[in-house]
Chains A and B, each alone.
Chain A
Amino acid sequence: MPDAGDELVRPDGQLTRRDVLRRGTAGAFAITMFGGLAERAFPFYGPLRYQHKQLSGELKIMQWTHFVPDYDKWLDGTYVKQWGEKNDVEVKVDHINLALLPSAAASEVASGGGHDLFQFLFPPSALEKQVIPLNDIVQEVTKKLGKMTDVAQKSSYNPKTKKYYGFADNYVPDPIHYRKSMWFNAGVFPSSWDAIRRAAPALKNAGHPVGLGMTGELDSNMLLMSLLYCYGASLQDEESRVAINSKATVEALKVMRDIYRRGMTDEVFAWTAASNNDAFLAGRLSLALNAISIRRTAEDRGLALADDTWIAPIPRGPVRRLGNEHVMGIYFIWKFAKNKAAAKRFLVDQQLGYRQHFLQSKFYNFPAWTNSVKGGFKTIRRVTNQDRHKPLGQYNILASIAEKNTTNVGYPGYANAAIGEIWSTYLVPQMFAQVAQDKMTPQEAAKAADRQFKQIFKKWRDQGLMP
């Protein structure tokens, strides 16, 4: 039975004190919550339309979370803002984890909407049908800066359709990091794969094994493919025919198995992309193949071993000294992008003045058009020489690595869609791991890979994307 106090409104229509209290509290609560939330209202209605009313266009970019946090801060906070003001475009950059780029891309294709500019860290050849060709801006930049590097060319051009499906922006050379003192004690310098194989047991006994991963992750992928090139093997030939089943492949598989048996531990089968970093920085590994993120982290943390850590080109094999880029920064523009003009403008302008990007990324990002840094490799060498971290002058070798020892995934052919799939599904590290763990002989593994690759090549050939 409701009692008199429950009545909200007195018979004469006036509010009771109780009611005022109740409504007032509710009101105050609402205002606090939603007033405060109004600022954060944009999560509900989407990103707020920009405050600067004079910027008329909008450009949305998606790229990876750079390992150098300062680079992203500079890019998002300074570079794109300045570019935006100059070109009357509001630029918004979103970052995602590099491992999740393919799913984000798939979702944008499925939804027919998303970002205008999308960056991949490996050639997005499989997406060719969903993007617009960028031959025009490639020509424009080539006219101003000369030809792009071979790595970039082979990673963004499809010779079958004669289209540039992507705009190569940057690539990252992949040196080896090694602890000079440990190798000195082992009496040898890691200049060739054979030297590493010979020194591996001694290093392992000293508690400092080499760290050559054989897991389904980025570092292992690049490392093992590079190993194949050094031994004269490759996944395909110039004509995009599968070429994995060769004596050279068997040779490379044997070498890796040997290094594992005598000089490495089981950890190399359980690595993430960060594991070799962590193990090296903990003082355990004597050698790792990785982009300069290891050295830079050592410097940031002020570790003593930074003075003892040198970088060098990929070890030489019996046939050549050649490695892959660690990652390849390629942008593409969706067919359904809303602001294609601004996107193209952005790409061209970014590449034309790449010096700042090179510096802000701490020498990680090398420009696809070398002359984008005025003076090309000579200037790059001069800049790296100015790095004050000990040992002095060590980053100079990066320029040589970039110039002479870096090639694209899919060497000697193009980085086509089939190679892209083999890369994304880590078939090469799998092959090596199975041989190292004695689950297959090298010959069997090469044959099995051959069969697998042929299926994949056929699938993409049927799509019309490959010669």
Chain B
Amino acid sequence: MELRSNIPAGPIDKKWDKHRFDIKLVNPANKRKYSVIVVGSGLAGASASATMAELGYNVKCFCYQDSPRRAHSIAAQGGINAAKNYQNDGDSIHRLFYDTIKGGDFRSREENVYRLAQVSVDIIDQCAAQGVPFAREYGGLLANRSFGGAQVSRTFYARGQTGQQLLLGAYQALERQIGLGTVAMHERHEMLELVVIDGRARGIVVRDMVTGKIESHVADAVILATGGYGNVFYLATYAKGCNATAIWRAYKKGAAFANPCFTQIHPTCIPVTGDHQSKLTLMSESLRNDGRIWVPLAKGDRRAPDQIPEAERDYYLERKYPSYGNLAPRDIASRSAKMVCDEGRGVGETGLGVYLDFADAIKRLGEDAIRERYGNLFEMYERITDENPYKVPMRIYPASHYTMGGLWVDYNLMSTIPGLHVAGEANFSDHGANRLGASALMQGLADGYFILPYTIGNFLAQNKIDKIDTSHPAVKEAEQAVADRIKTFLAIKGKRTVDSFHRQLGQIMWEYCGMARNDAGLRKALQLIPALREEFWSNVVVLGENESFNQSLEKAGRVADFLELGELMCLDALERKESCGGHFREESQTSEGEALRDDANYAYVAAWEYAGEKKTPILNKEPLTFENVALAQRSYK
């Protein structure tokens, strides 16, 4: 497989401008002759659908939720970064670019990240014009806050519901187009197969989740904006329905999967309470602006937090990283929490937790100021834990939150299958080995509003695309494969529920491919996962029939794919013997326990190519070159 990144020539700050001038345009009158399928209606999918429809393309958008407004972008709390420099504190496009590259531990593509920083400023303008109710200063100007991994204040926010408000902005733009008849919206439809004809992505097979009907849709280009795969860990901050099926089906049809082991474990989530736990809830990273993270100095100190005197507390992030303190990047904050818990200094019943304490901030600013900033987060915490964080410190622990890995894409966001484009968290492009806070919303909207609408046009204008319909043999074949797979699930009639398999897979992944990984553990996981998969295919029970609303059947398909993806993640983690960002190989650390990169051997994107059932996938490498930043050992000290 050849990985052509199609990076335009020229200096980095001119590449996107040059590319936009060089790319082919589709004449306005011709745009309506082209059709585009968008799978997913989160920030990337909704913004791409709305924008392409505004341009005149025929758009079909699909989502598994009952409404496009419910995609999991909605749950992002803290904010969205943009290099506006409204605060006059030294921000610039170059600084946002640099922070993102460094935050990603030098494992992302410079050119993509630079473009992201460039369009970040347009996103804020667009969203403000749509009526997104961003936080404002008394003078009416947009307000900013700081976020992890940055020393400037560049994060725009709408209380603790920034993702919700940005998504509703994109959703409203999408609904406007639906009302105008330019987008056909298919809710409660799940993509189960990609249709590839003559080497090009030409359509999808979906299941109507209400009636069970298997339908096909064809188009001139397909965009996957289906989010990340962090639910492979079962317990995660993702919505329960988030899944990897769309990108996994595409992988099995020839799209390379890049850096699958790059997953983000978010440091500030509410700890697990019991075996019934179905998901983990994030507490926004913005809390780290005012909350101080600590554990007792002594091992096994079970005293109530207010009984532990100042001198017997270890504010370990402030101690280890004095210049960034509690705002150290996510991977570092998570790993540090794991380390203190492994030392036996964790708090709460399970010992898997650390304190996030607002006592000092309340003393300094008053309870009202804290309520104004974080009121809804404090309420959410109290609802879940029955504890009042204004009085006692929050308890937090890391949880699976984001996946930097995803389908490999070139500069145009096109995968290795021509015509198949990938946007948002589903692609791998911008965050390297670790994503900074408030950058996911930025990337989703950059891809959907400002990048894909250009690059899709270039693809359509350059390629002569034959007209086909759903009677094409390749479409029928894909439909048959979907129907057969569903029949198989229903016919197994085993003794274990789908969820029980998913939980067990999650435990394996968390144990061996979570916050710390090592050779022996990964090899063990690579034996456990195929064995679990085999049991799944012979002992899972899925009741009911295809021809009805059947939530067990939906889950079965998703878990079957996670059982394959989990193995690829472990394989990738085993192959990458360096530590970088969220990928911490215990064999590769500094004397102080920090991640130790190996740029000589691992400065590449690992793009895995499907080789067939029961065959080891093929590793392709896209070398990463850094011409505009100096490769450096990341330091937040």
Q: Do A and B bind each other?
A: no
A residues with CB within 8 A of B: none
